[in-house]
Amino acid sequence: MALRNQLLQTLKERIKSPNFWFEWIILGLFFLSFAPVSYWFAENTFSETRVFHSLITLSIAIILLYRFETPTLENALELNPHCQKSLKISLLLLVIFVLSKISLNFFQLDSLILNMIYSLSIIASMVMALSSFVFFIFGTRISRINYSSSITFILFLFLSLFMIQVDWPLRALAAQWSVFLIELLGQSVDFFIANQDQSQSSPSLIIQFNGRNFNVASECNGFGIILNSALIGLLLSVYKRHSFLNSATNIIAALFIGFTFNVLRIISIILIAPFLFQYYDFIHELLGTIYYWGAFFITWYLLKGPLEKAINEKELV
């Protein structure tokens, strides 16, 4: 039976119970209490293209896992054990958030670690509240997908907070490696830092090739493509229950893939653009899209994400 038919049949049975409405209202109100935080993250995600693209690819990866596992409903539309567990974790994280906020504001403690705990605890609490809501609707058979997705989504929201801080280091690395590889191809290329413009928060990184200057702007720092690959690596590692060492290896490999594809994207633009400079914007977007999704599929394939059939137990080890 299709999932929507199972859900509809379960709903018809549960809707007559007073407990269903009580549980639904309590759970809904608890999740709605995170509305201000959810709105803030949603607003920032949709306003920043790179983060929004990472959200899209993460959503596609989760859908692929669901598509190839095809779970059935069990203990749906009720406060099942996994739903209760997620709620308890969310409440505990909320307590940690309140304590860290008190420490920061009341006791005037200014610590980097404390600030990270403050941000991470509210993010994780919000995601686990959403996880409990998902468990309530779809039951316990989706536990592997839901927990894996929750952990990955927590990391996604947390890392998105540091996009500005990592901009300059990522841009510098991408530019240096791009110049190094272009020189390996026997091409003459120059690399320099332009004077800082008052309208910019950091100096411009310029790669000069074939008489033209290419600015390695913030959009070229690779944050989106690297974040995308890292999230896929984490999602598959947690889902397949890999050991810590294997998970770390997968995430490092995913980071390398993301960084490499971003450098290749910059090199391709620099080498191709001079011949089609009148179509520069189109070439820039086209190559960016190709390498972005190329990194996604390569990471998915190399880390053995499901491709053709439902995942069985042998594939999860």
Highest mean pLDDT among 62-66, 157-161, 179-183: 179-183
Instruction: Let me know whether 229 and 311 are in one domain.
Output: yes
Please check the confidence at residue 97 and state whether its pLDDT lies above 80: yes
Instruction: Let me know whether 39 and 111 are in one domain.
Output: yes
Q: Which candidate, 157, 170, 168, places its Cα nearest to that of 125?
A: 157
Mean pLDDT of the region 289-306: 92
Instruction: Let me know whether 168 and 155 are in one domain.
Output: no
Residue 98 is part of which domain span?
3-160
Instruction: Let me know whether 94 and 55 are in one domain.
Output: yes
Q: How confident is the model at residue 305 (pLDDT cuts 50, 70, 90)?
A: confident
Look at residues 160, 195, 228 and tell me which one is the last residue of a structural domain.
160
In the chain, how many domains are there? 2
Instruction: Let me know whether 169 and 252 are in one domain.
Output: yes
Please check the confidence at residue 120 and state whether its pLDDT lies above 60: yes
Compute the distance between CA of residue 100 and CA of residue 155 in angstroms, rounded to an integer: 19
Q: Which range is least confidently modeled, 99-108, 284-293, 308-317?
A: 308-317
Look at residues 133, 160, 187 and tell me which one is the last residue of a structural domain.
160
Instruction: Let me know whether 79 and 202 are in one domain.
Output: no
Instruction: Let me know whether 196 and 300 are in one domain.
Output: yes
Compute the distance between CA of residue 304 and CA of residue 306 in angstroms, rounded to an integer: 6
Compute the distance between CA of residue 222 and CA of residue 217 in angstroms, rounded to an integer: 10
Instruction: Let me know whether 143 and 168 are in one domain.
Output: no
Say which residues have a Cβ less than 8 Å from residue 225's Cβ, sequence separation at least 6: 258, 261, 262, 265, 291, 292, 295
Instruction: Let me know whether 128 and 55 are in one domain.
Output: yes
Would you say the C-alpha torsion 121, 122, 123, 125 has a positive or negative sign?
A: positive
| Mean pLDDT computed over every residue of the chain | 87
Beta partners for residue 139, in sequence order: 74
Look at residues 101, 135, 160 and tell me which one is the last residue of a structural domain.
160
> Exposed (0-12), middle (13-18) or buried (19+): which is 101, by Cβ within 10 Å?
middle
Instruction: Let me know whether 143 and 170 are in one domain.
Output: no
Compute the distance between CA of residue 299 and CA of residue 228 in angstroms, rounded to an integer: 9
pLDDT at residue 313, rounded to an integer: 47
What is the pTM for the complete model shown?
0.87
pLDDT at residue 198, rounded to an integer: 56
Compute the distance between CA of residue 12 and CA of residue 201 in angstroms, rounded to an integer: 57
Helix, strand, coil content of the chain in percent (nearest 5): 75, 5, 20
